[in-house]
């Protein structure tokens, strides 16, 4: 990754206003709320204001400014009406009165927010980076504003700043939507803003191109930048599973017929075959996937578009030599030292294989009944122990690790687990555990003494409130939980706060067709939102594309 500007913390103030007295808007509050949600999921401390009056707007600004510290990254977003007054730009609060009785020059100075006022307050806090997104100058087809000074005029950025207008300065945009929720600019921004390892200027250019294409050139966002180097909101150097970066919500769908990208040629040990695969790890940077090919005692790499894989670990028969594996159950990538970390289940050890060669192997943890693996942004390693019914975290140099979930004996209480398998760690260091024999997924907040059931937990079964021996689990950037419900051959999604899940793939019985599974044991996303499923007894990996229609 190229050099980038280093900052301390990420902070955002997000304002959306629909309720104007004369010219109300439709999507500004949705846009603000959805951006607030996604920024929280990628580690921002956020302040959200909706339909703010002038006093409320000023209060939000002052409260936010007080939190900014030296070397922070600061983001300000506004969706609503705006006007310019000479070479000054103003954001209009919800109680801005278009039927002012005085000269507008005087009225707007007193009853609207000058953008320079916000920018100066941010600058005075000596933040490292400031980003301003002005998603305004909107009108509705039936109620177009008839007023002078519509639109914004160009702004000279401060040092290390990025300013983005959702349309060309001096122009207005028609407030329309394709997804019946967001304006065009926000709809596209949500698709890209949480992509890992993407520079913010690259993200904005993608948004500009998409908005221009989507509106047939009628809306062209405008950017002004003084950034001297790249700025990344997210880097996933130490995360083995990609948290989907597209605008996924509870109604997102995937095409129901998958494409085989590895295996699918019967059970076997040839390079185009698999034998009871159990786990997958996606390497977006190199357009490859790694598969824990369990009964071939090897880890396979499949490049995009190829049918033959390459053995990158094991493959020397089952055994306990350092160059052998015995029923590997999981594999993740440690990008910092360019290695694979493997749960070598039957050998009761965690091993590290260099991706640069197949020679440098190392036993990381020994004498452990290991199952699933995860790694957080600090390079702390998490391992589930199916026999001790616990999950431990190993910091670098740890000899015994620390119990972070379970560890209270086998059972179905909230502080217990029963045969935990796969795990997922989010950016808040919460741990999601597939509590397989309790037929549930349970979430343990960082430092918690007991978990919270986020999927299943109603006994084994095939209703939408139940799971049957869940295995793989992954959580997207919106907090939706995806579970490989192995006993019912389906992929389930559970949205936060829902009483029941929904079937997103499978559920069509046991079989070999492209819309069927025979043991859904694991899953993952790529950065485009495609869903990959490990189909155990069909000895294959399938990719299901997001259904954008």
| pLDDT at residue number 442 | 97
Strands 520-525 and 502-506 come out as unpaired
Task: Tell me the H-state helices in 114-242.
Answer: 115-124, 184-192, 200-214
Cβ(304)–Cβ(295) under 8 Å? no
Prediction pTM value: 0.69
| pLDDT at residue number 476 | 82
Residues 6 or more apart in contact with residue 379 via CB below 8 angstroms: 238, 334, 336, 396
Tell me the β-bridge partners of 131: 75, 162
Angle at the Cα of 449 from the Cα atoms of 446 and 455, rounded to 5 degrees: 75
**3-state DSSP assignment of residue 285:** coil
Sign, CA dihedral 468-469-472-475, equals positive
Residue 302: exposure state from Cβ atoms within 10 A (0-12, 13-18, ≥19): buried
Cβ(274)–Cβ(267) under 8 Å? yes
**How far, CA to CA in Å, does 132 sit from each of 53, 160, 495, 501?**
21, 11, 31, 38
User: Could you tell me the residue ranges of all domains in the chain?
Assistant: 10-225, 259-544
Strands 298-303 and 310-314 come out as antiparallel
Strands 88-91 and 82-85 come out as antiparallel
In the DSSP assignment, the letter for residue 190 is: H
CATH number of 10-225: 3.40.50.1460
Cβ(217)–Cβ(209) under 8 Å? no
Query: Can you spell out the DSSP letters for 324-360?
Result: -BSSEEEEEEETTTTEEEEEETTTTEEEEEESS-SS-
Question: For residue 104, what is the enclosing H or E element?
Answer: helix 104-111
| pLDDT at residue number 242 | 47
Segment-wise mean pLDDT, segments of 10 residues, the chain, 549 residues: 74 95 89 92 91 96 95 95 88 83 77 94 93 81 47 81 85 68 90 84 93 86 91 65 55 92 96 96 89 97 93 93 95 90 97 83 94 91 96 91 96 97 91 97 95 95 96 87 96 90 95 95 88 96 87
CA–CA dist 113, 416 (Å, integer): 53
CA–CA dist 430, 510 (Å, integer): 33
Cβ(185)–Cβ(196) under 8 Å? no
Cβ(47)–Cβ(56) under 8 Å? no
Chain CA centroid to CA 261, Å: 23
CB atoms within 10 A of CB 395: 11
Question: For residue 402, what is the enclosing H or E element?
Answer: strand 402-406
Give the dihedral of Cα atoms 357, 359, 360, 363; nearest 10 deg: 130
Cβ(313)–Cβ(354) under 8 Å? no
CATH class for the region spanning 259-544: mainly beta
């Amino acid at each position: 990754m190229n050099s980038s500007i280093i900052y301390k913390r990420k902070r955002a103030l997000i304002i959306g206003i629909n309720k104007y007295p004369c010219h109300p808007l439709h999507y500004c509050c949705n846009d603000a709320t959805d951006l607030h949600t996604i920024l929280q999921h990628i580690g921002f401390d956020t302040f959200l204001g909706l339909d703010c009056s002038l006093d409320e707007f000023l209060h939000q600004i002052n409260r936010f400014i007080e939190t900014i510290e030296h070397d922070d990254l600061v983001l300000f977003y506004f969706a609503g009406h705006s006007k310019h007054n000479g070479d000054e730009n103003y954001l209009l609060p919800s109680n801005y009165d278009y039927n002012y009785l005085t000269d507008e020059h005087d009225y707007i100075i007193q009853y609207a927010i000058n953008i320079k006022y916000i920018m100066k307050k941010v600058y005075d806090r000596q933040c490292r980076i400031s980003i301003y997104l002005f998603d305004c100058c909107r009108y509705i087809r039936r109620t177009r504003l008839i007023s002078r000074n519509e639109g914004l005029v160009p702004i000279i950025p401060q040092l290390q700043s990025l300013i983005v207008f959702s349309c060309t300065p001096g122009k207005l945009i028609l407030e329309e939507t394709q997804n019946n929720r967001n304006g065009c600019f926000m709809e596209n921004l949500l698709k890209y803003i949480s992509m890992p390892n993407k520079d913010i200027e690259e993200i904005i250019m993608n948004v500009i191109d998409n908005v221009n294409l989507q509106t047939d050139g009628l809306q062209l966002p405008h950017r002004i930048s003084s950034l001297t180097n790249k700025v990344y909101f997210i880097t996933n150097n130490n995360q083995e599973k990609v948290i989907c970066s597209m605008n996924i919500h509870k109604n997102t769908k995937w095409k129901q017929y998958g494409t085989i990208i590895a295996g699918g040629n019967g059970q076997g040990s040839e390079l185009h075959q698999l034998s009871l695969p159990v786990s997958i790890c996606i390497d977006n940077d190199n357009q490859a996937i790694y598969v824990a090919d369990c009964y071939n005692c090897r880890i396979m790499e499949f490049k995009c578009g190829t049918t033959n894989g390459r053995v990158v670990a094991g493959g020397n028969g089952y055994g306990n030599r350092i160059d052998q594996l015995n029923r590997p159950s999981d594999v993740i990538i440690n990008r910092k030292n360019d290695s694979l970390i493997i749960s070598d289940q039957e050998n009761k050890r965690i091993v590290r294989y260099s991706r640069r060669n197949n020679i440098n192997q190392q036993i990381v943890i020994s004498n452990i009944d290991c199952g699933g693996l995860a790694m957080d942004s600090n390079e702390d390693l998490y391992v589930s122990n199916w026999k001790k019914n616990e999950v431990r975290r190993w910091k670098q140099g740890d000899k015994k690790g620390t119990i972070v979930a379970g560890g209270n004996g086998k059972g179905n209480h909230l502080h217990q687990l029963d045969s935990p398998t796969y795990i997922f760690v989010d950016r808040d260091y919460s741990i999601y555990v597939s509590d397989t024999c309790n037929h549930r997924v349970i979430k343990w907040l960082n430092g918690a003494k007991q978990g919270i059931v986020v999927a299943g937990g109603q006994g084994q079964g095939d209703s939408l409130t139940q799971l049957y021996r869940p295995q793989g689990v992954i959580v997207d950037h919106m907090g939706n939980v995806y579970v490989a419900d192995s006993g019912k051959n389906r992929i389930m999604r559970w949205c936060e706060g829902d009483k029941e899940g929904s079937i997103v793939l499978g559920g069509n019985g046991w079989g070999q067709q492209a819309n069927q599974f025979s043991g859904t044991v694991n899953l993952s996303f790529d950065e485009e939102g495609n869903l990959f499923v490990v189909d155990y007894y069909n000895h294959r990996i399938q990719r299901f594309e997001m259904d954008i229609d």
